[in-house]
Chains A and B, each alone.
Chain A
Amino acid sequence: MEDITLTVNGTDHELSVEPRTLLIHALRDEMGYTGPNVGCESSMCGACTVHVDGRAVKACTELAVRAEGSEITTIEDLGEEGDLHPLQKSFQEEHGLQCGYCTPGMVMTAAEFLEEEPDPSREEIREALEGNLCRCTGYQNIVNAVESAAAEMSAAVEPATDGGTVRDDGATADDGAPVESGGD
Chain B
Amino acid sequence: MTTERPLTTERPSRAGVTEMATDESSADVRSEGVQTVDADDVDAAEILGSAVERREDPSLLTGDAEYTDDIQLPEMAHMAIVRSQHAHARIEGVDTSAAAEMPGVVGVYTAEDLDVSGNVPTAWELDDLREVDHPLLAEDVVRYQGDALAVVVAEERYQAHDAADAVGVEYDRLDAVVDPGDALGDDAPVLHDEEDNTAFTWEIGDADETDAAFADADRVVELDVTNQLLIPNAMEPRATVADYEPGDDELEVHMTSQNPHVHRLLMSGVIDHPEHKLRINAPDVGGGFGSKIHHYPDEALVAWAAKRLERPVKWQATRTETYLTDAQGRGHETHGEIAVDDDGAIRGLRIDTAANMGAYLSTFAPAVPTYLYGTLTSGQYAIPSIHCEVTGAFTNVPPVDAYRGAGRPEASFIVERLVNRAAAALDMDPAEFRRQNFVDSDDFPYETPVALEYDSGDYEKTLDRALEMVDYDAFRERQEEARAEGNYLGIGFSCYIEACGLAPSELVGQLGARAGLWESGLVRFTPTGTVRAMCGTSGHGQGHDTTYAQVVANELGVDYDDVEVVEGDTDAIPQGMGTYGSRSAAVGGSALVKSAKEVVEKARKIAAHQLEASPDDVEFEDGEFHVAGAPDRSMAIGDVALEAYLAHDLPDDVDPGLEATAFYDPDNFVYPFGTHVAIVEVDPDTGEVEFENYVAVDDVGNQINPKIVEGQIHGGVAQGVGQALYEGAEYDENGQLTTGSMQDYAVPKSMHIPDMETDSTVTPSPVNPLGVKGVGEAGTIAAPQAVVNAVVDALEPFDVEHIEMPLTNERVWQAAHGDGGEN
Chain A positions within 8 Å of B, measured between CB atoms, are 18, 20-21, 25, 28-29, 32-42, 44-45, 47, 74-76, 78-81, 84, 88, 91-95, 97-104, 107, 121-123, 125-127, 129-144, 147, 178, 182, 184
Q: Which of B12, B65, B69, B234 contacts A135 (CB 8 A)?
A: B234
Contacts of B11 in A (CB 8 A): 130
Given contacts A33-B63, A41-B319, A92-B53, contact A138 B756 (CB under 8 A): yes
Q: A136 near B61 (CB under 8 angstroms)?
A: no
Contacts of B13 in A (CB 8 A): 127
Given contacts A101-B235, A126-B751, contact A35 B714 (CB under 8 A): no
Ordered by A's residue number, 28 sampled pairs between the chains whose C-beta atoms are within 8 Å are A28-B70, A38-B316, A39-B235, A39-B237, A40-B742, A42-B319, A42-B742, A75-B61, A75-B63, A76-B64, A80-B62, A91-B61, A92-B57, A93-B53, A97-B57, A99-B540, A101-B287, A102-B235, A107-B61, A122-B755, A123-B24, A130-B11, A130-B749, A134-B235, A138-B717, A138-B756, A140-B755, A182-B36
Contacts of A37 in B (CB 8 A): 67, 69, 235-236, 286
Within 8 A of A (CB), among B1-48: 9, 11-13, 21, 24, 27-31, 33, 35-36
Q: Is B296 an interface residue (CB 8 A)?
A: no
Closest approach, in angstroms, between the C-beta of B104 and any C-beta of chain A?
12
**Main SS of the interface on chain A?**
loop
Complexed CA–CA distance, A123 and B57 (Å)? 26
Closest approach, in angstroms, between the C-beta of B695 and any C-beta of chain A?
13
Q: Is B516 an interface residue (CB 8 A)?
A: no
Q: B234 near A127 (CB under 8 angstroms)?
A: no
Closest approach, in angstroms, between the C-beta of B318 and any C-beta of chain A?
6
The interface centre, meaning the residue of A32, A38, A76 with most chain B CB atoms within 10 A of its CB, is A38
Closest approach, in angstroms, between the C-beta of A39 and any C-beta of chain B?
5
Contacts of B192 in A (CB 8 A): none
Given contacts A44-B741, A135-B235, contact A97 B33 (CB under 8 A): no
Given contacts A99-B235, A182-B36, contact A137 B62 (CB under 8 A): no
Q: A44 near B70 (CB under 8 angstroms)?
A: no
Closest approach, in angstroms, between the C-beta of A124 and any C-beta of chain B?
9
Q: Which of B30, B715, B751 contacts A184 (CB 8 A)?
A: B30
Q: Is B272 an interface residue (CB 8 A)?
A: no
Q: B711 near A137 (CB under 8 angstroms)?
A: yes
Closest approach, in angstroms, between the C-beta of A26 and any C-beta of chain B?
12
Contacts of B750 in A (CB 8 A): 125-127, 129-130, 132, 134, 139, 142-143
Contacts of A107 in B (CB 8 A): 61
Within 8 A of A (CB), among B46-72: 53-54, 56-67, 69-70, 72
Chain A residue with Cβ nearest B743: A44
Given contacts A42-B742, A99-B541, contact A92 B54 (CB under 8 A): yes
Closest approach, in angstroms, between the C-beta of A90 and any C-beta of chain B?
10
Contacts of A28 in B (CB 8 A): 69-70
Q: Which of B31, B64, B70 contacts A140 (CB 8 A)?
A: B31
Contacts of A95 in B (CB 8 A): 36, 53-54, 707-708, 710-711
Complexed CA–CA distance, A3 and B157 (Å)? 19
Contacts of B234 in A (CB 8 A): 99, 101, 135
Given contacts A98-B542, A138-B756, A140-B31, contact A45 B742 (CB under 8 A): yes
Q: A130 near B12 (CB under 8 angstroms)?
A: yes
Q: Is B812 an interface residue (CB 8 A)?
A: no
Closest approach, in angstroms, between the C-beta of B706 and any C-beta of chain A?
10
Contacts of A98 in B (CB 8 A): 287, 541-543, 711, 715
Within 8 A of A (CB), among B230-277: 233-237
Closest approach, in angstroms, between the C-beta of B230 and any C-beta of chain A?
12
Q: B28 near A121 (CB under 8 angstroms)?
A: yes
Q: B67 near A39 (CB under 8 angstroms)?
A: no
Q: Which of B64, B236, B742, B779 contacts A99 (CB 8 A)?
A: B236
Closest approach, in angstroms, between the C-beta of A19 and any C-beta of chain B?
11
Complexed CA–CA distance, A89 and B384 (Å)? 53
Closest approach, in angstroms, between the C-beta of A128 and any C-beta of chain B?
8
Contacts of B64 in A (CB 8 A): 35, 76, 81
Contacts of B150 in A (CB 8 A): none
Chain B positions within 8 Å of A, measured between CB atoms, are 9, 11-13, 21, 24, 27-31, 33, 35-36, 53-54, 56-67, 69-70, 72, 157-158, 233-237, 284-287, 289, 316, 318-320, 540-543, 707-708, 710-711, 714-719, 741-743, 747, 749-751, 753, 755-756, 779
Complexed CA–CA distance, A163 and B63 (Å)? 34
Q: Which of B28, B30, B61, B236 contacts A144 (CB 8 A)?
A: B30
Q: Which of B21, B33, B69, B286 contacts A100 (CB 8 A)?
A: B286
Q: A103 near B236 (CB under 8 angstroms)?
A: no
Closest approach, in angstroms, between the C-beta of A1 and any C-beta of chain B?
12
Q: B54 near A34 (CB under 8 angstroms)?
A: no
Q: A79 near B289 (CB under 8 angstroms)?
A: no
Pairs of residues from A and B, 6 with the lowest C-beta to C-beta distance, nearest first: A35-B63, A101-B286, A100-B60, A99-B541, A138-B718, A44-B742
Closest approach, in angstroms, between the C-beta of B87 and any C-beta of chain A?
23
The interface centre, meaning the residue of A36, A97, A121 with most chain B CB atoms within 10 A of its CB, is A97
Chain A residue with Cβ nearest B721: A138
Closest approach, in angstroms, between the C-beta of A80 and any C-beta of chain B?
6
Complexed CA–CA distance, A94 and B542 (Å)? 15
Contacts of B543 in A (CB 8 A): 98
Contacts of A103 in B (CB 8 A): 60-61
Q: B158 near A34 (CB under 8 angstroms)?
A: no
Q: A100 near B61 (CB under 8 angstroms)?
A: yes
The interface centre, meaning the residue of B13, B53, B59, B708 with most chain A CB atoms within 10 A of its CB, is B53
Contacts of A74 in B (CB 8 A): 63
Contacts of A130 in B (CB 8 A): 11-12, 749-751
Contacts of A92 in B (CB 8 A): 36, 53-54, 57-58, 61
Contacts of B779 in A (CB 8 A): 138
13 A-B pairs besides A45-B235, A133-B747, A136-B711 with CB distance below 8 A are: A25-B158, A36-B63, A40-B741, A45-B742, A84-B58, A92-B53, A98-B541, A99-B541, A101-B236, A133-B742, A136-B235, A138-B756, A139-B718
Closest approach, in angstroms, between the C-beta of B95 and any C-beta of chain A?
25
Contacts of A134 in B (CB 8 A): 235, 750
Q: A76 near B63 (CB under 8 angstroms)?
A: yes
Q: B62 near A84 (CB under 8 angstroms)?
A: yes
Q: A133 near B30 (CB under 8 angstroms)?
A: no
Complexed CA–CA distance, A49 and B719 (Å)? 23
Contacts of A20 in B (CB 8 A): 158
Q: A34 near B63 (CB under 8 angstroms)?
A: yes
Contacts of B542 in A (CB 8 A): 98
Contacts of B749 in A (CB 8 A): 129-131, 133
Given contacts A33-B63, A141-B33, contact A136 B287 (CB under 8 A): yes
Q: A126 near B21 (CB under 8 angstroms)?
A: yes
Closest approach, in angstroms, between the C-beta of B378 and any C-beta of chain A?
28
Q: B59 near A81 (CB under 8 angstroms)?
A: yes
Q: A42 near B743 (CB under 8 angstroms)?
A: yes
Contacts of A182 in B (CB 8 A): 35-36
The interface centre, meaning the residue of B234, B237, B286, B540 with most chain A CB atoms within 10 A of its CB, is B286
Chain B residue with Cβ nearest A147: B30
Contacts of A42 in B (CB 8 A): 319, 741-743
Complexed CA–CA distance, A178 and B234 (Å)? 32
Contacts of B63 in A (CB 8 A): 33-36, 74-76, 104
Chain B residue with Cβ nearest A22: B158
Closest approach, in angstroms, between the C-beta of A3 and any C-beta of chain B?
18
The interface centre, meaning the residue of A76, A103, A139, A178 with most chain B CB atoms within 10 A of its CB, is A139
Closest approach, in angstroms, between the C-beta of B651 and any C-beta of chain A?
43
The interface centre, meaning the residue of B60, B61, B717, B743 with most chain A CB atoms within 10 A of its CB, is B61
Closest approach, in angstroms, between the C-beta of A62 and any C-beta of chain B?
16
Q: B287 near A88 (CB under 8 angstroms)?
A: no
Closest approach, in angstroms, between the C-beta of A10 and any C-beta of chain B?
15
Chain A residue with Cβ nearest B316: A38
The interface centre, meaning the residue of A21, A88, A93, A147 with most chain B CB atoms within 10 A of its CB, is A93
Q: B715 near A138 (CB under 8 angstroms)?
A: yes
Complexed CA–CA distance, A32 and B53 (Å)? 29
